[in-house]
Structure 1
Amino acid sequence: MGRIEALARSCHPLPSLAVTVVATALAVTTGRSPGGLVAVGAAVLAGQLSVGWLNDLLDAGRDASVGRKDKPVAAGVVSRKLVLIATIAAAATAVGLSLLSGADATLVHVVTLCSAWAYDFGLKATAFSVVPYAVSFGLLPAFVTLGAPDGHWPPSWLIAAAALLGSAAHFANVIPDLEDDAATGVLGLPHRLGKAASAGVAAALAVITGVVLAVGPPGPVTAAGVVAVPLSVVILAVGRLRGRRAGSRANFNALLAVAVVDVALLIITGA
C-alpha cells in the first residue's frame, strides 16, 4: 500500500464523501451557481478530511494496542507526521474555502469543525460523546443556507432533523467498535448504554428524523414523507430479525439504509 492510498484510507473516506454529497445536494436547492456548489463541496470535504485524519492520528496508539490492521496510521503504513501535516492543511483549506460563502457561513462552518475536532480530542470518551455529532450535523444546513445568494438561517425543523440524524449516525457508527473502544478506555455514551440499547437508540433517532422531515415543512405532508417513515420502520424491523444471528451486521446495515432514506428526504424537504 502506497503512502497516498494509506493517507486516503485514514481520512474515513466513506463518511467524508457522504457528508460532502449531502451538503452539496442541499446547496443545489438554494440556487447556487456551479462555482458556488464547488465551493461548498470542497469546503465541506476539506473539513471532513481534517476530522477523519485527526481521529486516526489521535487514536493511533489505542488502535495499535488492539491490533487494528485496518487503520494505516496504527499499522505504521503511513507516518504520523504526514497525517498531522495533512490534517493541518485540510483544516486551513476548509476555512479558506468557506470564506467563498461569506463571513457568516464561515463562522458556522468553523463552529461545526471545532465541535467535530473536540470529539476527536476527547469528548468521544465521555457521556457527552453524542453532542459533537448533534452540533456539527445540526449546523451543516446553516453553513449551506447562510452562503446562499439570499443568505438566511434554515428553519428550525431542518436544524433539528439534521441534529437527530447526526446523533443516530454516532450510535450506528460506534456499535461495531464497542469492544475495541472499551478495551482502550474509550467509554462514550453508546459504550455506557451497551450494544442493544445503542442499536435501539440509533433506530429510534433515525425514525424520528424521518417524522420531523415529513411534518416539519409548511403545508401538507408530501408523498415522500408519507412513504419514508413506514419504509424506515420496515427496514429496521427486517434488520432486527436478521440481526439475531451471531456475528450478523444486518442490524447495523439496516440503520445505514434508513439513514439513506432520511438523507434523501432531507434533500427533498430541504428545498
Structure 2
Amino acid sequence: MTGAPTRTRPGLLRGLAEACHPVPGLAVTVVAVVLAVGTDLTASRVALLGAAVFTGQLSIGWSNDWVDAARDRAAGRADKPVAAGTVPREVIAAAASTALVATVVLSSLLGLAAAAALLVGVAAGWAYNLGLKATAWSGATYLVAFGFLPVAPYVAAPGHPWPPWWVPVVGALLGFGAHFANVLPDLRADAETGVRGLPHRLGPRAGVIVMALALAAASVVLGLAPAGTATAYALVVPAIGIALAVATTVAALRAPHSPLAFRLTILIALLDVVLLITNAT
C-alpha cells in the first residue's frame, strides 16, 4: 500500500510536464526573457518577467488539455496525458488554476502596464481554449497574445517606454503564423471532433500559404521598419522572406500534405524570431 504513491508520482509529474505543451511554452518564455534582457530591466525584474510568462504559458497549456479532455479521448489521442488517463482531469484543472493565479500575482509585481500586457495575452490563450479555437476567430487570439507579449518587457522598464510600433506588429504576425503551424498537423484529428478554426476552414493548402504570407510580412516589416538599418539589410531581409514565402506557396500548391511547405515556414519563422530579437534589443 505504501509503495503505490511512490510508483505513481513520477508518472503523474511526467504527465503534467507533457500536458503543459512544454516546447512552445518554453520557446515563448525564452523569447520574452531575451527581449527583456535587451531593455533596461534589472536582472531580478527579468527573472520576474520570465516567471510570469512561464506560469502564464503553463496555465494555457494545462487548460488546453483540461478543456479538451473529452474531445482528445474521443479522438484516441494517446499522446495526451489527460485523455490517456495518466493525469486525472481534476489534477490538470487544479494545475491550470494554480498557474493562472501565479501568473496574475507575478505579473502584478511588474507594474500595471506590464501586467496588462501579459495578462491580455494569457486571457487570449484561455479564450482560445474555451471555445474560440473552433471558430473563424481562432487566429485573432494569437494576434492579440503575441502582439502584446513583446510589449511587456518595454513597459516593465523604468519610465514605461512604449516599444517601436513594429515590435507588436511583428509579434502579432509571428503569432498568427504560429497558430497555423500549431494546428495544421492536427487538422484530421480536429475534424473528427468538430473543431473548425480558421486553419480548418481554409484547409491544408490555403492554410500553409496564409501562414507563409504572415511570416513573410513579418520579414518585410523587420527589414524596412527598424530605424538606422543599412540599405543592404533593408533589401535582403524582405527579399529572403518573400522568396521563402513563394517557395512555400509553390510547395503547398503542388503537394498540400507534404512536409516541405511546413518546414519552409518554420525556417521563415526562425529567421523572423532571430531578427526580432536582434533589432528589438
Same fold by TM-score greater than 0.5: yes
Q: Any gaps of 5 or more consecutive residues in structure 1?
A: none
Alignment of 1:92-111 (within 5 A): 92-111=101-120
Alignment of 1:203-214 (within 5 A): 203-214=212-223
Q: Which moved more, 1:248-257 or 1:195-204?
A: 248-257
Q: Tell which structure's C-alpha radius of gyration is larger.
A: 2
Distance 1:163 1:222 in 2: 25
CA contact (8 A) 2:36 2:154 kept: yes
Distance 2:38 2:231 in 1: 17
Aligned to 1:201: 210
Letter in 2 for 1:37: V
Q: Measure how far apart 1:147 and its partner are.
A: 0.4
Aligned to 1:263: 273
Residue 150 of structure 2 aligns to a residue whose secondary structure is helix
Aligned to 1:187: 196
Distance 2:201 2:185 in 1: 14
Work out whether 1:153 is the aligned partner of 2:162. yes
Aligned to 1:118: 127
Cα distance, 1:144–1:78 mapped onto 2, change above 3 Å: same
Letter in 2 for 1:160: V
Q: Measure how far apart 1:260 and its partner are.
A: 1.1
Cα distance, 1:200–1:241 mapped onto 2, change above 3 Å: closer
Q: Measure how far apart 1:137 and its partner are.
A: 0.3
Residue 101 of structure 1 aligns to a residue whose secondary structure is coil
Aligned counterpart in structure 1 of residue 84 of structure 2, from 70, 75, 89: 75
Q: Measure how far apart 1:63 and its partner are.
A: 1.0
Aligned to 1:89: 98
Q: Measure how far apart 1:30 and its partner are.
A: 0.5
Residue 51 of structure 1 aligns to a residue whose secondary structure is helix
Q: Measure how far apart 1:253 and its partner are.
A: 2.2
Letter in 1 for 2:197: G
Aligned counterpart in structure 2 of residue 12 of structure 1, from 18, 21, 34: 21
Q: Percent of counterpart pairs with the same letter?
A: 45
* TM, length-normalised to structure 1: 0.93
CA contact (8 A) 1:11 1:53 kept: yes
Distance 1:160 1:238 in 2: 24
Aligned counterpart in structure 1 of residue 264 of structure 2, from 244, 248, 254: 254
CA contact (8 A) 2:204 2:256 kept: no
Letter in 2 for 1:61: A
Aligned to 2:32: 23
CA contact (8 A) 2:143 2:175 kept: yes
Distance 2:37 2:108 in 1: 18
Q: Any gaps of 5 or more consecutive residues in structure 2?
A: 1-9
Q: Measure how far apart 1:231 and its partner are.
A: 3.5
Q: Measure how far apart 1:237 and its partner are.
A: 5.6
CA contact (8 A) 1:27 1:145 kept: yes
Aligned to 1:38: 47
Cα distance, 1:5–1:135 mapped onto 2, change above 3 Å: same
Cα distance, 1:29–1:89 mapped onto 2, change above 3 Å: same
Q: Measure how far apart 1:108 and its partner are.
A: 2.0
Letter in 2 for 1:13: P
Alignment of 1:214-229 (within 5 A): 214-221=223-230, 226-229=235-238
